[in-house]
Structure 1
Amino acid sequence: MRGARRSVCVIAAAALALPGAVFAQQDAYPSKPVRIVVGFPAGSSTDVATRVIAQRLGQALGQQFVVENRAGASSNIAARAVAGAQADGYTLFVGTIANTINATLQANTSVDISKELLPVAMMGSVPNILVAHPSLGVDNLGQLIAKAKAEPGKITFASSGNGTSPHLSGELLAYMAGVRMLHVPYKGSSPAVVDLLAGQVLTMFGPASTVLPHIREGKLKALASTGLTRASSVPDLPTVDELGLKGFETSVWFGINAPLNTPAPVIEKLAAAVNAAQDSAELQAQFKTQGIEVVRAGPSNYAALIRSETDKWARVIKAAGVQSQ
């Protein structure tokens, strides 16, 4: 009996000590370098924002945050790798609008980040800007909509590919305005902009960082930006929402996600560090030069955004009959 009681006491003592040991490990986080996996190539807006944040996280938390680019399949390759990683906070994923589109467009193969990954914090977003070639002869959104109604299916809009944010921005505009426009997909923003500048296609929703130089040179006309508030990079340009299509909002947003079952204290520590990094005037200046807006959202608000975006794009994809290619 005495031996049995001793065993029970040892087990009880170990159980009592365990939470302290776990929290001690979490308090020490990070004790080694952390990987942040980006599903897009180096140099993309998502990559640039992540590298700026990663540098700040490393300075604040005393360990290197290494950005790893694993492009392909609209970031599904990267998402799948992180979803299957150990839930210890040392492998993170950059979630974007693409993942909420994939949830419907590639439902059988994509990672549903609302269910298979945990939200940590938002980093920022890049608003799209609706631009037109001067030959179209429109100076504002109202004129574009009127022309599209008068010539259904004739006005072209370019995108960086089927199912991308610029593509679905065009579909959302057509849906909300009650018009038909002709989608012309390209393999990336660069070839789309080349043809737009040549007048081979007439309109496009493009990332601010991509189209702003051409707007400033007078080669493209800016008709509207796509946030609910005006973009800091073009503060004089009204939003689509302001111009009458209430609730219209699209942007290339990005945030940090972690594998399921990552300890809550680790999530909270990372979220606080991201929020603190966003306070940096230097970071804000770096973002602004790239046309990136700082977006603050902790785990709960980021989770709400993911759910809202997933629902919105599901409706647009179904209404427009967009198919995966």
Structure 2
Amino acid sequence: MKRRELLLASVPALAAAALPSWSAAQPAYPGSPVKVLVGFPPGTATDIGVRAVVDQMARRLGQPFIVDNRPGAGSNIAAKAVATAPPDGYTVFAITIANIINAAFPVPNAVDPLKDFKPITLIGNVPNVLVVHPSLKVTTVAELIALAKAKPGSLAFASSGVGTSPHLSGELFARMADVKMVHVPYKGSTPAVTDLLGGQVQLMFSPASTVLPHVRANKLVALAVTSPRRTSSAPELHTLDESGLKGFDTSVWMGLMAPAQTPASVIGTLRTAAHAALDSSELQAIYKAQAIDVLKTSDEELSRFLQSEGARWSKFIQQTGIKPE
């Protein structure tokens, strides 16, 4: 080949070598703090569970993960803020069963967890616990069902609001046990538990972390957990499935999601850091103290889980005719 031809042939290669590749030009992720929106107040089970994970993630990724609590509308305020945020990995959402339940109601402009977010991983599960006031004098699920059937409509169950997991737990229990109870909604778990302790209502399905201290102080009686498996925080408690209500499951699960168009590489970085955090003995000790069971999933597993949960609760809400507040 002549010298001129050699020079011409080398021009494209020389030009390519002189320009940095696109990937090399991009700053490493994360290059600045990451905001994590939680749709519930500080101190709730979701808030505690998310903080424990993201604190560990921050150590591994070298950037602060800042928890931003934006309670309201059953976590929809926080969900909408993340769904419309730039899909760059710097805004993350703490999804819970509340968001799947919200999406099951026919509400205009509601956030669709399956379309508006990209899954990172589940991080934990807090079973609801069926607790009763000691004045009922019942110690088993069978005894409670027998009492409810003997006195239809006389038992009142508290919840943290219409459409919440504690509310739907009570409705599902009544349906599966074929009993009639009165629902008394409150604006949050704290006032609901306060009235339960005072005997104004007789029972409640509440996150374990909220009511187990009262059970251990003999102020409430725990009958069963609503998860498919017994919880490590109270392994002596039977599940409702074991107690005769086959397939009963209203666990308060939580996970991490990002805006729908977030790059796969960023999702992978976040998932790897979250799974490492969930494997740490420090986090597992925090979770055990708060009655949270560790969960880990791939993006595919979380997508299938959300689809299954969405179909289950949509069907239940249609069957019962429950309306949002």
- Please, what TM-score do these two structures have when normalized by structure 2? 0.91
Q: Secondary structure at the match of 1:311?
A: helix
- CA offsets 1:115-145 (integer angstroms, 9 cap, x no match): 1111111111111100111222211001111
Aligned twin of 1:313 = 313
The aligned residue for residue 25 of structure 1 is: 26
Partner residue of 2:242?
242
Match of 1:257, SS state, is strand
Specify the code of the residue in structure 1 equivalent to 2:147: K
Q: 2-side partners of 1:245 and 1:170: how far apart?
A: 13
TM norm structure 1: 0.91
1:311 counterpart letter in structure 2: A
Following the alignment from structure 1 to structure 2, what is the Cα–Cα distance between the partners of residues 294 and 304? 18
- Give 1:22 shift: 3.6
2:50 maps to a residue whose letter is T
Q: Which has the larger radius of gyration?
A: 2
AA aligned opposite 2:26: Q
**Structure 2 CA distance for aligned equivalents of residues 86 and 63 of structure 1:** 18
In 1, Cα distance between the equivalents of 2:194 and 2:222? 16
What is the aligned-residue RMSD (CA, Å)? 1.8
* Matched residue, 2:4: none
Q: Where in structure 2 are there 5+ consecutive unaligned residues? A: 1-7
Cα distance change of structure 1 residues 284 and 300 upon mapping to structure 2, 3 Å threshold = same
Task: For 1:173 and 1:25, locate their aligned partners in 2 and report how far apart those are by CA, in whole Å.
Answer: 53
The residue that corresponds to 1:294 in the other structure is: 294
CA distance in 1, matches of 2:48, 2:25: 33
Q: Match for 1:21: what amino acid?
A: W
Displacement of 1:109: 3.5
Once the two structures are TM-superposed, the CA of residue 315 in structure 1 deviates from its matched residue by: 2.0
Moved more, 49-58 or 147-156: 147-156
Query: Identity of paired residues, percent?
Result: 54
Q: 1:302, 1:134 → 2: CA distance? A: 39
SS at match of 1:43: coil
1:264-294 Cα shifts (integer Å, max 9, x gaps): 1111111111111111001000111111111
- Counterpart-to-counterpart distance in 1, 2:61 and 2:230: 34
Provide the C-alpha distance between the structure 2 equivalents of 1:152 and 1:103, rounded to a whole number of angstroms: 32
SS at match of 2:323: coil
1:133 matched to which residue of 2?
A: 133
CA distance in 2, matches of 1:203, 1:273: 40
Residue 170, structure 1, aligned to residue 166, structure 2: no
Determine the structure 2 residue equivalent to 1:50. Answer: 50
Cα distance 1:146–1:24, how it changes in 2: closer, same or farther (>3 A)? farther
Output aligned runs, 1:143-222, within 5 Å.
143-222=143-222
What is the number of equivalent residue pairs in this alignment? Answer: 312
The letter for the 2-side match of 1:260 is A
Return the alpha-carbon distance in structure 1 between the equivalents of residues 259 and 184 of structure 2: 36
**Could you say which residue in structure 2 is the equivalent of 1:66?**
66
Contact 1:130 1:222 in 2 (8 A): yes
User: Unmatched 5+ residue regions in structure 1?
Assistant: 1-5
How far does residue 31 in structure 1 lie from its aligned partner after superposition? 1.1
Q: Secondary structure at the match of 2:126?
A: strand
Displacement, 1:106?
5.2
1:284 equivalent in structure 2: 284
Deviation for aligned residue 1:67 = 0.9
1:35-60: CA deviation from partner (whole Å, max 9, x where unpaired): 11111111111111111111111111
Match of 1:37 in 2: 37
Residues 171 and 316, structure 1, Cα contact 8 Å, conserved in 2? no
Name the CA shift for 1:22/1:175 in 2 (closer, same or farther; >3 Å). Answer: farther
Q: How does 1:115-130 map to 2 (within 5 A)?
A: 115-130=115-130
| Match of residue 3 from structure 1 | none
- CA gap of 1:130–1:21, structure 2 versus 1, over 3 A, is same
